[in-house]
A and B are shown apart, each in its own frame.
Chain A
């Protein structure tokens, strides 16, 4: 009956292969903040941005749905702000750290990834594309973001978060229009 034992082992192996891992934490949010403000003496005290009625339509236009909280915490030093935001890729939220400097994205980093597919968006070859992007008058990024085959929903989620962080940054540090030439 060695054949039966072999088949039983095969079935047990197949069943075990169905197990999946937990959330992938690439960097703890507090570690992201420490790294972001490493040149300062400490991470700045958090500040709050309240989701006003005026902001809601734009946020909904960017995300395609309402933001799931009434206030957003951010960390600011001069013209530099750091945000930790979440957006659902397919079914689970992707926790992302974003840094905006002078109205442009300085850094995007995936902190916690919970989906089973599309984790390629964590790699710098993808997130580095956001560096230097700003918002145009239509609240879209001024730079094209190349997608990743098989990770379309995650790419979309991170692109939305990039736009959202820039929009939030514009709410706490209003963009001053350049003076018209005489």
Chain B
């Protein structure tokens, strides 16, 4: 053993220091690798936000349908329409019921609409909606007021004009006041009212109304920057990336200092 050789204790201590340093640097690299993409996103969006006024981001609307779907601002499926008296149109879209372009109330899955003497009737899958031609709701008939089962379609029988509701349990004809009902024989011929096409300009107006003020580029960039674009988990990831940035800074500084000390 030469005089420059370390003692066994020094050798052991040096080995422990090397292992610790390697572990720290391994984690430094791993954390940097895992959160690198988040750092890039936060940095790039942060720069864009700092210049949002100059870039006029707050007044740049976004038209991408997938972004509106992501934000829950794009109606799912196409609107369904049924013709009413007076040239009006009953339209169901994304859980909202419209008479022409006027929102009346919420109604799931429009399955038919008809005009009676003084009142219109629209059918969702689980309820009927009675409303005046002026769009005022008269009554909602839920499961407590309907025959058993799910609503499938509406129809009319003549002489006298009565509403027929086709349920999953059979066909039922309502009385004139739309209060009570009786089941029709199975062989009764009734023709369910058929849907009609919703004009494109009306559809576009309804979609625009559904979206409200819409989305801007500024809103998207801000939400990506904060992580809200990805919901609550996104905010958590951005929070973790902030902590990771602190960790990387401390371990990086420590690494530089130790290298200078050890030559």
Chain A interfacial positions (CB closer than 8 Å to B)? 3-4, 7, 11, 14-15, 17-18, 28-30, 32-33, 45-46, 48, 68-73, 84, 95
Task: Tell yes or no: B117 within 8 A of A by CB.
Answer: no
Return the CB mask of B127-146 against A: 1 if under 8 Å, else 0: 00000100011111111110
Query: Do the beta carbons of A69 and B139 come within 8 Å of each other?
Result: yes
* Chain B residues in 8 Å Cβ range of A15: 230-231, 233
Bound Cα distance from A30 to B142, whole angstroms: 9
Closest 7 CB pairs of A and B: A14-B233, A29-B144, A70-B138, A18-B231, A30-B144, A71-B139, A69-B137
Which of B30, B34, B138, B142 has the most chain A CB atoms inside 10 A of its CB? B142
A73-B139 in contact (CB<8A): yes
Q: Is A70 a contact of B136 with CB atoms below 8 Å?
A: yes
Number of A-B contacts (CB under 8 A): 57
Q: Which residues of B come within 8 Å of A, CB atoms?
A: 30, 33-34, 105, 132, 136-145, 177, 179-180, 230-233, 236-237
- Among residues of A, the one whose C-beta sits closest to the C-beta of B137 is A69
CB distance from A15 to the nearest CB of B (A): 5
Q: Which residues of B contact A69 (CB under 8 A)?
A: 137-140
Instruction: Check B177–A30 contact: CB distance below 8 A.
Output: no
The answer to whether B137 touches A14, judged by C-beta atoms less than 8 angstroms apart, is no
Chain A residues within 8 Å of B143, by CB: 28-30
**B139 near A46: Cβ-Cβ < 8 Å:** no
Q: Which of B132, B177, B236 contacts A48 (CB 8 A)?
A: B177
Is the CB–CB distance between A46 and B180 below 8 Å? Answer: yes
Does A46 contact B136, Cβ atoms closer than 8 Å? no
A46 close to B179 (CB less than 8 A): yes
For B34, what are the chain A residues with a Cβ–Cβ distance below 8 Å?
A: 3-4, 7
Q: Report the Cα distance A119→B33, complex, angstroms.
A: 44
Given contacts A15-B231, A29-B143, 9 further A-B contacts (CB under 8 A): A4-B34, A11-B237, A18-B231, A18-B233, A46-B179, A68-B105, A70-B132, A70-B138, A73-B144
A45 vs B132: C-alpha distance when bound (angstroms): 24
Interface pairs (6), CB distance under 8 Å: A15-B230, A18-B231, A29-B144, A69-B138, A72-B139, A73-B144
Give Cα A27–Cα B44 distance, bound, in whole angstroms.
Answer: 52
Residues of A within 8 A of B132 (CB): 70
User: What is the chain B residue whose CB lies nearest that of A86?
Assistant: B140
For B137, list chain A residues within 8 Å (CB). 68-70
Q: Please name all residues of chain A whose beta carbon is closer than 8 Å to the beta carbon of B140 when the two chains form the complex.
A: 69
Complex Cα distance, B177 from A69, in Å, reads 15
* Contact partners of A28 in chain B: CB under 8 A: 143-144
Asked whether A70 lies within 8 Å of B233 as measured between CB atoms, the reply is no
Q: Compute how far the CA of A69 lies from the CA of B141 in the bound complex, rounded to whole angstroms.
A: 11
Residues of B with C-beta under 8 A to A4 = 33-34
A30 CA to B105 CA, complexed, in Å: 23
Q: How many angstroms between the C-alpha atoms of A33 and B180 in the bound complex?
A: 16
